[in-house]
Structure 1
Amino acid sequence: MNRTIILLVLLITSITTDAAKHHFPGGKCYIYRYNLCDKAATSYSLNAPQLFLSEKSIERRQRQGLPIDSTDLPVCQLYIKQFNVRGAQVVGTSKWQNTVLVQSNDSAILNKLGHLDIVRKATCVFIAPDSIDSPGDVRWNVHQEFNRWDSVKNDPYGMARNQIEMLNGIRLHELDCTGRGISIAVIDGGFQNYDRIPAFKSTHIKGTFNFVPSRIDEIVKDKERGPFHVIDHGTKVLSALAANAPEVHIGTAPDADYWLLRSEAEQIEQPVEEDLWGMAVETADSVGADIISSSLGYYAFDGGLGNYRLQDLNGQTAFISREASMLANKGMVLCNSAGNSGMGPWKKIGVPADATDIITVGAVDREQRLASFSSIGPSQDGRVKPDVMAQGAPAALISGRGTLVHDMGTSFSTPIVSGLVACLWQALPNKTAHEIIELVRENASQYHEPTNIFGYGIPDFWKAYTSQQKQ
Structure 2
Amino acid sequence: MKIYFFLLNFVMMMTWSTVSGEVLCRYRVYLADKNCTAYSLDRPEEFLSSRAIERRMRQHLAVDSTDLPVCRTYIEEIRRSGGKVLNHSKWNNTVVVELSRHEVLDSIRTLPFVKKVKRVWIAPDGAIPRNKERKKMITNKVTKTDDYYGHAAAQIRMHHGDSLHAAGFRGEGMQIAVIDAGYYNVDAIKLFRHLNLLGVHDFVNPDSDIYEEHSHGLKVLSCLAVDKPNVMVGTAPKASYWLLRSEDNDTEQPIEEDNWAAAIEFADSVGVDVVNTSLGYYEFDDKEENYRYRDLDGKTSFMSVTAEKAAGKGLLVVCSAGNAGGGKWKKISPPADAEDVITVGALDYDRTNADFSSIGNTADGRVKPDIMALGVRAVVVGENGGISRASGTSFAAPIFCGLVTCLWQAFPDLTVKEIIDVVRRSGSRYTHPDNIYGYGVADIWKAYQLIQKERGNR
Does 2:106 correspond to 1:116?
Answer: no
Offset of 1:71 from its aligned partner? 0.4
Aligned to 2:220: 237
Between 22-31 and 461-470, report the one with greater CA deviation: 22-31
SS of equivalent residue, structure 1 residue 159: coil
Match runs of 1:54-453 below 5 Å: 54-85=49-80, 87-135=82-130, 139-141=134-136, 143=138, 145-148=140-143, 151-152=144-145, 154-213=146-205, 226-453=209-436
Cα contact 1:142–1:193 (8 A) shared by 2: no
Q: Hey, what's the Cα distance between the residues in 2 that align with 1:433 and 1:327?
A: 10
Offset of 1:328 from its aligned partner? 1.8
Offset of 1:143 from its aligned partner? 3.8
Offset of 1:137 from its aligned partner? 6.9
Offset of 1:144 from its aligned partner? 5.2
Give the counterpart letter for 2:238 in structure 1: D
Cα contact 2:180–2:216 (8 A) shared by 1: yes
Between 138-147 and 250-259, report the one with greater CA deviation: 138-147
SS of equivalent residue, structure 2 residue 317: strand
Q: 1:145 to 1:194 in 2, by over 3 A?
A: closer
Q: Hey, what's the Cα distance between the residues in 1 that align with 2:135 and 2:345?
A: 31
Q: How many residues align?
A: 445
SS of equivalent residue, structure 1 residue 269: coil
Q: Hey, what's the Cα distance between the residues in 2 that align with 1:377 and 1:135?
A: 36
Between 127-136 and 353-362, report the one with greater CA deviation: 127-136
Q: Hey, what's the Cα distance between the residues in 1 that align with 2:181 and 2:305?
A: 21
Q: Hey, what's the Cα distance between the residues in 2 that align with 1:141 and 1:176?
A: 38
Give the counterpart letter for 1:255 in structure 2: K
Question: Among 39, 42, 48, which residue is 1:47 paired with?
Answer: 42
Q: 1:76 to 1:262 in 2, by over 3 A?
A: same
Give the counterpart letter for 1:267 in structure 2: D
Unaligned runs of 5+ in 2: 18-22
Offset of 1:336 from its aligned partner? 0.5
Q: Hey, what's the Cα distance between the residues in 1 that align with 2:102 and 2:317?
A: 35
Give the counterpart letter for 1:76 in structure 2: C
Report Cα offsets for 1:7-55 as digits up to 9, x if no partner: xxxxxx79x979x856332312110001111111111111111111110
Report Cα offsets for 1:412-468 as digits up to 9, x if no partner: 000001100111011112111111111111111111111101111100000000111
Identity of aligned residues (%): 47
Cα contact 2:135–2:188 (8 A) shared by 1: no
Cα contact 2:349–2:376 (8 A) shared by 1: yes
Cα contact 2:16–2:123 (8 A) shared by 1: no
Q: Hey, what's the Cα distance between the residues in 1 that align with 2:249 and 2:159?
A: 31
Give the counterpart letter for 2:46 in structure 1: L
Cα contact 2:140–2:384 (8 A) shared by 1: no
SS of equivalent residue, structure 2 residue 78: coil
Offset of 1:133 from its aligned partner? 4.1
Offset of 1:129 from its aligned partner? 2.0
Does 2:15 correspond to 1:32?
Answer: no
Offset of 1:116 from its aligned partner? 1.4
Offset of 1:145 from its aligned partner? 3.8
Q: Hey, what's the Cα distance between the residues in 1 that align with 2:210 and 2:174?
A: 28
Match runs of 1:15-30 below 5 Å: 21=9, 23-24=12-13, 25-27=15-17, 28-30=23-25
Report Cα offsets for 1:260-310 as digits up to 9, x if no partner: 000111111000000000000000001100000000000111122522111
Cα contact 1:143–1:197 (8 A) shared by 2: yes
Offset of 1:244 from its aligned partner? 1.4
Q: Hey, what's the Cα distance between the residues in 1 that align with 2:129 and 2:138?
A: 25
Cα contact 1:35–1:100 (8 A) shared by 2: yes
Deviation >6 Å, runs of 4+:
none
Q: Hey, what's the Cα distance between the residues in 2 that align with 1:400 and 1:432?
A: 37
Cα contact 2:196–2:241 (8 A) shared by 1: yes
Aligned to 1:10: none
Q: 1:46 to 1:368 in 2, by over 3 A?
A: same
Q: 1:444 to 1:29 in 2, by over 3 A?
A: same
Between 226-235 and 382-391, report the one with greater CA deviation: 226-235
Q: Hey, what's the Cα distance between the residues in 2 that align with 1:100 and 1:464?
A: 41
Q: Hey, what's the Cα distance between the residues in 1 that align with 2:170 and 2:411?
A: 13
Cα contact 1:441–1:447 (8 A) shared by 2: yes
Cα contact 2:186–2:211 (8 A) shared by 1: no
Q: TM-score, normalised by structure 2?
A: 0.93
Report Cα offsets for 1:124-163 as digits up to 9, x if no partner: 0001123444456762435454344xx21x2111110000
Q: 1:137 to 1:362 in 2, by over 3 A?
A: farther
Cα contact 1:271–1:305 (8 A) shared by 2: no
